[in-house]
């Protein structure tokens, strides 16, 4: 057993199986509950980052003024921005370590699902390779990977006759939508950044804004493409994780870059209510 598996994957596997047994042998519920527990544990560590992001959003008008003032000297703008952050007590790097930890957790989940749930594996034998003695499955134990319409050990995809590719299932579609919404919420300055970038001489501003926008749309596509071949248990983890992140982001700094979509929905609902009168 390699070091990463010993330190990260094995504890996660045992925590997941412990909850699986507590909730009546339901891996779907176990994934949702265990993911929520992990995220609640790491929330105090990520809060400084979320608070810094909110302060940075509030300083957007001041940052725009600095960009205009130093539009011909990017180095002076960077120095002025750093000084402003220092005056306001903002540390842009706060919370980076907890987010790296979340990436490690994602990799550990990926290792767990691909090691145990991949098609053709003896799931019980593979699970027992990771289990601590009290949680080892006996020969009479039956492992259930069914959850709602899915088999969590298989991809959430549906081959269609005549098509060279499989269609994503409902979970993958939800995962892509949640990923898109989460990415938009994490980018509160995207809409204003276009205008600011165009007013500055440095072309790197335009490149950064373009990259931010591209990731908003690329990540949902990548989520679906990866989900077409990976066990759907991993997709369920990712949906749970992304929904929690959205809630956390909303409680900390509101709708962020998703606000225009929310406003459109409110307007649409208002029009429907008026039509009923």
- Sketch the domain layout of the chain as residue ranges: 3-276
pLDDT at 58: 73
- How buried is 234 (Cβ within 10 angstroms: 0-12 exposed, 13-18 middle, 19+ buried)? buried
Percentage of the chain exceeding pLDDT 70: 81
Region for 132 from its dihedrals, namely left if φ exceeds 0, alpha if ψ lies in -120 to 50, beta otherwise:
beta
* Per-residue model confidence as pLDDT tens digits over 111-136: 998 888 875 668 899 999 999 999 99
Is 71 strand, coil or helix? coil
pLDDT at 275: 60
pLDDT at 30: 94
pLDDT at 197: 47
pLDDT at 2: 85
Residue 230: DSSP 8-state: S
Residue 151 bridge partners (DSSP) = 146
Mean pLDDT of successive 10-residue stretches along the chain, which has 277 residues: 89 94 93 90 73 72 81 82 81 65 86 81 88 92 89 87 82 88 66 47 49 73 86 90 83 75 80 62
């Amino acid at each position: 057993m390699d070091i990463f598996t010993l330190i990260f994957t094995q504890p996660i596997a045992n925590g997941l199986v412990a909850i699986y047994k507590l909730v009546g042998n339901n891996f779907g519920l176990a994934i949702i509950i265990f993911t929520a527990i992990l995220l609640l544990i790491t929330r105090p560590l990520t809060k400084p980052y979320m608070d810094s992001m909110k302060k940075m959003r509030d300083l957007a008008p001041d940052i725009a003024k600095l960009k205009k003032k130093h539009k011909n000297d990017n180095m002076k703008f960077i120095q002025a921005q750093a000084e402003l952050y220092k005056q306001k007590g903002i540390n842009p790097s706060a919370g980076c370590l907890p987010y790296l930890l979340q990436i490690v957790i994602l990799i550990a989940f990926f290792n767990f699902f691909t090691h145990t749930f991949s098609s053709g594996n003896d799931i019980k034998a593979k699970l027992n390779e990771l289990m601590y003695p009290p949680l080892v499955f006996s020969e009479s134990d039956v492992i259930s990977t069914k959850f709602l319409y899915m088999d969590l050990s298989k991809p959430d995809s549906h081959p269609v006759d005549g098509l060279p590719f499989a269609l994503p299932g409902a979970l993958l579609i939800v995962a892509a939508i949640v990923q898109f919404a989460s990415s938009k919420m994490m980018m509160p300055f995207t809409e204003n950044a276009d205008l600011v970038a165009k007013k500055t001489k440095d072309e790197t501003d335009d490149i950064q804004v373009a990259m931010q926008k591209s990731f908003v749309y690329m990540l949902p596509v990548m989520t679906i493409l990866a989900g077409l071949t990976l066990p759907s248990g991993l997709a369920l983890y990712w949906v749970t994780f992304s929904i929690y992140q959205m809630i956390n982001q909303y409680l900390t700094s509101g709708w962020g870059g998703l606000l225009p979509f929310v406003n459109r929905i409110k307007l649409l609902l208002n029009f429907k209510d008026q039509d009923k009168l």
